[in-house]
């Protein structure tokens, strides 16, 4: 299986963080590798510059955007935690609709913060 893009990884990361515990980025990466059944060869794949593993890069960008949308926080470098507001949204979404949708969370956060959208990343 190909490594998912960072947008696809946002929801699984939120779900993994929904226990409200601080998780190291490496723990998130390992969970994604396990959840998506990424092989060891795929996990070793590098980005085109050769400076980082693709899976690390994708999880890193997913966490970056979740922080920019203020759905998670970073108490210290390399640590991630869901914020109370998004945790409440996550639980209310699960209770009301049978699942969480990142788009719903982001839209509710945008309304809450009157957030200006982040421009899309350029195609490479």
CATH number of the domain to which 45 belongs: 1.10.10.10
**pTM of the predicted model as reported, rounded to 2 decimal places:** 0.75
Do the domain assignments include residue 31? yes
Q: How many domains does the chain have?
A: 1
The pLDDT of residue 20: 87
The pLDDT of residue 45 is above 80: yes
Residue 112 reports pLDDT greater than 70: no
Distance (Å, rounded) from C-alpha 115 to C-alpha 85? 15
State mean pLDDT over 105-120. Answer: 58
Beta partners for residue 72, in sequence order: 82
Return the biggest CA–CA distance within the chain.
Answer: 44
| 24 falls within a domain | yes
Q: How far is CA 12 from the centre of its chain?
A: 7
In a domain, 65, yes or no: yes
Q: Evaluate whether residue 94 is within a structural domain.
A: no
Whether 51 maps to a domain, the answer reads: yes
Distance CA(101)–CA(75), nearest Å, equals: 24
Encode burial over 63-97: b for 16+ CB neighbours within 10 A, e otherwise: bebbeebbbbbeeeeeebbbbeebbebbeebeeee
Is the residue at 106 inside a domain?
Answer: no
Average pLDDT over residues 41-52: 95
Mean pLDDT, the chain, integer: 82
Interval 48-83: pLDDT, tens: 999 999 999 999 999 998 888 888 999 999 999 998
Q: Is residue 64 part of a domain?
A: yes
Residue 28 near residue 16, CB atoms below 8 Å:
yes
- What residues make up the domain containing 14? 6-83
Does residue 95 or residue 65 have the better pLDDT?
65
């Amino acid at each position: 299986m190909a490594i998912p893009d960072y947008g696809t990884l946002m929801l699984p990361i939120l779900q993994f963080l929904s226990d409200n515990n601080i998780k190291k980025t490496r723990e998130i990466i390992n969970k994604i590798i396990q959840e998506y059944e990424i092989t060891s060869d795929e996990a070793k794949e590098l980005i085109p510059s050769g400076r980082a593993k693709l899976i690390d890069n994708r999880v890193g960008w997913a966490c970056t955007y979740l922080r920019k949308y203020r759905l998670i926080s970073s108490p210290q470098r390399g640590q991630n935690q869901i914020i109370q507001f998004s945790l409440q949204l996550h639980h209310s979404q699960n209770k009301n609709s049978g699942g969480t949708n990142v788009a719903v969370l982001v839209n509710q956060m945008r309304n809450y913060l009157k957030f200006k959208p982040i421009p899309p990343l350029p195609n490479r």
